Chain A
Amino acid sequence: MHRLPFIVASDLFRSRHLLRLLVKRDLNARYRRAYLGYAWAVLEPLLLAIVYTLIFTILVGRSDPLYSVNVVIGIIGWTLFSRSLTTSTKSLGSSINLFQFARVPKTVFATSGTLTNAALALISLTSLIPFFFMHDLPVTVSLLMLPLWLLLISFTGWAIGLMLAPISCKIPDVLNLINFLVRAGFFLSPVMWTYDMFSTRFGDGWHAVVAHLNPTVVPITGMRDAMLGGTTAIPSYGYAMCFGTAVLAYVFGTIVFERQAHRAVVNI
Chain B
Amino acid sequence: MSVMMRLEDVTLEYPVPRQYRKEDVLPSGIRNVSFEVNQGEVIGIIGQNGSGKSTLLKTMAGVFPPDSGRISTRGSVSLLAGVGVGFNKELTGRENAYLYGALMGRTKEQIDTLIDEIKSFAELKHHFDRPIRTYSSGMKSRLGISVATAFKPNLLLIDEVLGVGDISFREKSKKRVRNLMKSAGSVVIVSHSLSLLKEICDKIIVIENGEMAFSGNPSDALEFYGSLMNE
Interface residue? A33 (CB, 8 A): yes
A22 to B98, CA, bound (A): 10
Interface size range of chain B in the complex: 20 to 34
A97 CB contacts on chain B under 8 angstroms: 81, 85-86
Using a CB–CB cutoff of 8 Å, the interface residues on chain B facing chain A are 12, 14-15, 58, 61-65, 76-81, 85-86, 88, 90-91, 95, 98-100, 102-105, 107-108, 131, 153
* Given known A-B contacts A29-B91, A266-B14, A22 and B86 have beta carbons under 8 A apart: no
- With both chains docked as a complex, state the minimum distance between the C-beta of A90 and any C-beta of chain B, in angstroms: 16
Q: Select B103's contact among A28, A96, A102, A266, beta carbons within 8 Å.
A: A102
Interface band, chain A: 20 to 34
State whether A266 touches B98 (Cβ < 8 A).
no
Chain A binding site: helix, strand, loop or mixed by DSSP?
helix
Is the C-beta of A101 less than 8 angstroms from some C-beta in chain B? yes
24 A–B contacts from the bound complex (CB under 8 Å): A18-B102, A25-B91, A25-B95, A25-B99, A28-B90, A29-B88, A32-B90, A96-B63, A97-B85, A98-B86, A99-B61, A99-B62, A100-B80, A100-B81, A100-B86, A101-B86, A101-B103, A102-B76, A102-B104, A102-B105, A103-B62, A262-B65, A265-B63, A266-B15
Cβ of A110 to closest chain B Cβ, rounded Å: 15
Kindly state the separation between the CA atoms of A240 and B173 in the bound complex, as whole angstroms.
60
With a cutoff of 8 Å between Cβ atoms, the chain B residues found around residue A32 in the complex are: 90, 131
A248 within 8 A of B: no
A3 contacts partner chain B, Cβ-Cβ < 8 Å: no
CB-CB < 8 A to A262: which residues of B? 65
Q: How far is the CA of A96 from the CA of B108 in the complex (A)?
A: 24
The answer to the question of A17 belonging to the interface, with a C-beta cut-off of 8 Å to chain B, is yes
CB-based closest 10 A-B pairs: A29-B90, A100-B79, A97-B86, A101-B103, A21-B102, A102-B103, A99-B63, A18-B102, A102-B104, A262-B65
* A29 surroundings in chain B (CB, below 8 A): 88, 90-91
Residues on the A chain within 8 Å of B81, using CB = 97, 100
A266 pairs with B102, CB closer than 8 A: no
Greatest chain A CB density within 10 A among B63, B90, B107 is at B63
Instruction: Say whether A17 contacts B104, CB under 8 Å.
Output: no
Binding site for B on A (CB under 8 A): 17-18, 21-22, 25, 28-29, 32-33, 96-104, 262-263, 265-267
B64 touches A104 (CB 8 A): no
Q: Told that A101-B78, A101-B104, A102-B103 touch, could you supply 6 new A-B pairs with CB distance under 8 A? A: A17-B102, A28-B95, A29-B90, A29-B91, A104-B103, A265-B63
Contacts of B78 in A (CB 8 A): 100-102
A263 to B14 Cα, complex, angstroms: 11
**Complex CA–CA separation, A265 to B77 (angstroms):** 19
Q: Please measure, in the bound complex, the distance between the C-alpha atom of A32 and the C-alpha atom of B92, giving whole angstroms.
A: 11
A100 touches B58 (CB 8 A): yes
* B15 to A, closest residue via Cβ: A267
Q: Residues of B contacting A99 with CB < 8 Å?
A: 61-63
With both beta carbons as reference points, the residue of chain A lying nearest to B57 in the complex is identified as: A100
Q: State whether A33 touches B90 (Cβ < 8 A).
A: yes
A91 to chain B, nearest CB (A): 15
Does A263 lie within 8 Å of B91, measured CB to CB?
A: no
For the complex, give the distance between the alpha carbons of A32 and B132 in Å. 13
Interchain CB contact (< 8 A) of A22 among B14, B61, B79, B99:
B99
Least Cβ distance of A6 to chain B in Å?
22
Which of B61, B88, B105, B131 contacts A100 (CB under 8 A)?
A: B61
B103 surroundings in chain A (CB, below 8 A): 18, 98, 101-102, 104
Chain A residue numbers with a CB within 8 Å of B76 are 102
Which of A17, A101, A265 is the one whose CB lies under 8 Å from B79?
Answer: A101
